[in-house]
């Protein structure tokens, strides 16, 4: 007969021993109801499984479909500086795991040209002698824009 304290030690030691099932594809390591065999692509994170929400912009494939952030909802936003050439609608979207606005033009993005438009988005039109004897300036990083050149005496 085994003394009571020895039996208790054996029982505790047996219950702490890892089971074979925990190491298999049929185990649910994060207890989210999904196993690796059933499609869980990260069995260490309960938020990542085939029912996971992939609307987060976090570079993680939360719904195990092979594409990270594919359910993020891109929305239209009004550009903050809505005057001159900057007026318009941009997008709030997920870019490389970062939520950001895209498509908006801000003061400093463009330079003023002589064309009757507030190209540099500062609320003024054709300022800074752009319609004088100097030629129009190029749009930074966006190809070239040419304004009208006013020649002296004409």
Q: How far apart are CA 99 and CA 95, in angstroms?
A: 6
- Tokens 């912009």 appear where? 57
**Mind listing the pLDDT tens digit for each residue in 88-143?**
888 999 999 999 999 887 777 788 889 988 888 778 888 888 898 644 444 444 33
What is the tens place of the pLDDT at every residue in 46-92? 999 999 999 999 999 999 999 999 999 999 988 876 676 677 888 99
Residue 61: closest CA among 44, 41, 38: 41
Using alpha carbons, select from 68, 77, 85 the residue that is nearest to residue 124. Answer: 85
């Amino acid at each position: 007969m085994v003394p009571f304290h020895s039996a208790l030690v054996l029982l505790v030691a047996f219950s702490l021993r890892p089971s074979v099932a925990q190491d298999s594809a049929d185990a649910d390591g994060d207890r989210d109801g999904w196993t690796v065999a059933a499609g869980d692509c990260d069995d260490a994170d309960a938020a990542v499984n085939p029912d996971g929400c992939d609307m987060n912009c976090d570079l993680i494939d939360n719904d195990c479909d092979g594409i990270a952030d594919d359910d993020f909802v891109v929305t239209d936003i009004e550009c903050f500086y809505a005057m001159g050439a900057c007026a318009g609608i941009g997008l709030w979207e997920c870019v490389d795991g970062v939520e950001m606005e895209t498509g908006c033009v801000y003061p400093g993005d463009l330079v003023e040209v002589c064309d009757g438009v507030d190209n540099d988005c500062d609320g003024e039109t054709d300022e800074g002698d752009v319609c004088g004897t100097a030629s129009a300036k190029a749009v930074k990083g966006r190809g070239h824009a040419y304004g009208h050149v006013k020649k002296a005496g004409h």
